[in-house]
Amino acid sequence: MIDAIQDRKEISRKLKERAIFEGFAVAGIASIPGSSRIKLRTRALERWISKNHHAEMTWMQSEKRKNIGSLFEDAKSVLSVGFTYINSQNNNNNFLKVAKFSQGEDYHKVIHKKLKNIGKWINLEIPDCKWKICVDTSPLLEKAWAEEAGIGWIGKNSNLISKKNGSWFTLGFIILTKDLMPDKPHQSLCGKCDICIDHCPTKAIVEPFVIQSDLCIAYHTIENRDKTIPKKIEKNLGGWVAGCDICQDVCPWNKSVPYNNNYETTPKEWIKNLNIESLNWDDKKWQENLKGTTLKRIKPWMWKRNIQANINNKKLKYE
């Protein structure tokens, strides 16, 4: 029995070490079905959806999101990892701003490739274990499971926050059929701080930990498929044309975090130099620039809409 526990601890430690070796900043393990906090987070999701705070993001309603076991048969553990995307070359001093998470390579592909390498390691080190990769395109209660695995806590701006890496990282997961040694779930360290809530220009953080999507700049610049952006949002865009970093930029936990200055996170040149001349780009030019990034989710006509909305707002300020 003691030997079995020691073996479980050892393979769990090696798995997390392998994740760090592959380039992830943080790694942790949670047992399935998880602690009572998973049920609490699931209920919070249900309340959020019942109030239509997800707006047009209907995929958030997937029942599978409420049960990790429905994603993979015989699931017993989940490895949670965080990939830091903040780069010293990130620049949002331009008039037109792009959220940091999307300035480099498509993080979905980057994370998937690294997780696949971990999977190959699992095949060699734990041959009796089956596994499944999940990134944020999977119906998984991502941040709740990352919190359960101890790699951070869900902040009042709904982002996952790590003591060392702040919130500048995206998440990845491997669900395993092996019973591994879980890490201690992370406790919230936001305390009485409300800086993110106070600084949101559209008041999208309607209460601590709750985002009303149809008030969020990121939602409207990335997900909104309407031909125009609501006037209340437009007048508060402040240059944002793809996402928004305001609630992260002001977070005290993000004041001093390590950069990930590799090619995967290095901003594309066109993003660093984005200006109103891009309104003259045809669809082919946009598609060439967007290739290999998460930003291709924003269609060329949406880019033009977002850019024009910022120009309209700037004109109004000076008229």
Over range 124-135, report the average pLDDT: 96
Over range 37-45, report the average pLDDT: 91
Whether 319 shows a pLDDT value over 80: the answer reads: no
pLDDT score at 318: 40
Percent of the chain having pLDDT more than 90? Answer: 84
Distance in angstroms (rounded) separating the CA atoms of residues 260 and 87:
5
Q: Which of 62-71, 231-240, 260-269 has the lowest mean pLDDT?
A: 62-71
Radius of gyration of the chain (CA): 20
Task: Name the band, by pLDDT with cuts 50, 70 and 90, for residue 115.
Answer: very high
Distance in angstroms (rounded) separating the CA atoms of residues 183 and 150:
6
pLDDT score at 6: 79
Task: Name the band, by pLDDT with cuts 50, 70 and 90, for residue 2.
Answer: low
Over range 249-263, report the average pLDDT: 95
Over range 29-35, report the average pLDDT: 96
Q: Which residues are catalytic?
A: 136
Mean pLDDT, rounded, of the chain: 93
pLDDT score at 3: 64
Selection from 1, 41, 16, 2 nearest residue 180 by Cα: 16
The sign of the CA dihedral 264, 108, 282, 98 is: negative
Distance in angstroms (rounded) separating the CA atoms of residues 46 and 131:
28
Percent of the chain having pLDDT more than 70? Answer: 97
- How far, in whole angstroms, is CA 18 from its chain's centroid? 22
The string of pLDDT tens digits covering residues 139-162 is: 899 999 999 999 999 999 999 999
